[in-house]
Amino acid sequence: MIKLYLTPSTRAGRVAWLLEELEMEYELEVLPFTKEGLKSPEHRSRHALGRVPVIEDGDVSIFESGAIIQYILDKYDDKGLKPDVNSSEYPYYLQWFHYCEGMVMPPMNQIVVQTVLLPPDRRDETVLNQAMNLLSKSLSPVNSFLEGKDYLIGNFSAADCMLGHSCFMANRFGTVSDEMGNIKNYVKNIESRPAFQKAIMLGTENADPLG
């Protein structure tokens, strides 16, 4: 059985969401968003930087949400959440799967740093505004591509677990403008999925949420 190390309101939610969509049994260990929780010697033995997600699957222990999702899909997907390599959807699946970390999350990370992680006296309004502008530019192609679609490639796929989770977090931070109506509708579709509803709440009872 897969064991998932998760901290609420982090990329680990993507992995939990996929596991719920696949209706897989898994063991969950919730780590608090504290130095003691994430930077302990025990957790650093799993991830040298003390971050999540991490999964253990037998003798396998890996981190990085995208790598974990690809691993789970290749080994356990029986619901077609990754399109066939010869399908017309596959190139766009790959594009949006990787667009998330390449374009959307870098400014999102800066926004989290400037609004949550740094104490008020160390925050930089210029850096925050630059990150907000870059995030808006990065989301614009996503909004255009979603025209007439419920999900990124039509049917729900693991690309939605990656990029959709980031769109949800961006909307939660108030950084998706009303002009991006397609993303707003997309987030509503995501929020209506029972697997997402369960995954996003994991560990929140005693959490210090990031947004």
pLDDT given at position 122: 96
Q: Averaged in consecutive runs of 10 residues, what is the pLDDT profile of the chain (211 residues)?
A: 96 98 97 92 95 97 98 97 97 98 96 94 97 96 98 97 97 93 98 97 63 28
What does the pLDDT read at residue 208?
A: 39
What are the residue boundaries of the structural domains of the chain, listed by start?
2-81+196-206, 90-193
> Does domain 2-81+196-206 bear CATH number 2.40.30.10?
no
β 2-6/54-57 pair status = antiparallel
CB 72 within 8 A of CB 19: yes
CA 205 to chain CA mean position, Å: 20
In sequence order, the 6+-apart residues with CB closer than 8 A to the CB of 46 are: 5, 54, 56, 61, 63
Give the model's pLDDT for residue 12: 97
What CATH class is the domain 90-193?
A: mainly alpha
C-alpha torsion 208→104→65→191, nearest 10? 60
d(CA 102, CA 23) in angstroms, rounded, equals: 29
Please state, in angstroms and rounded to a whole number, the distance separating the CA atoms of residues 44 and 24: 27
What 144-149 contacts at long range (C-beta under 8 Å, 24+ apart), as own/partner pairs, is 144/182, 145/92, 145/96, 146/182, 146/183, 146/185, 146/186, 147/182, 149/182, 149/186
Residues 173, 211: contact at Cβ < 8 Å? yes
What confidence score (pLDDT) does residue 205 get?
66
Quote the DSSP letter at residue 79. S
Would the CATH topology of 2-81+196-206 be identical to that of 90-193? no
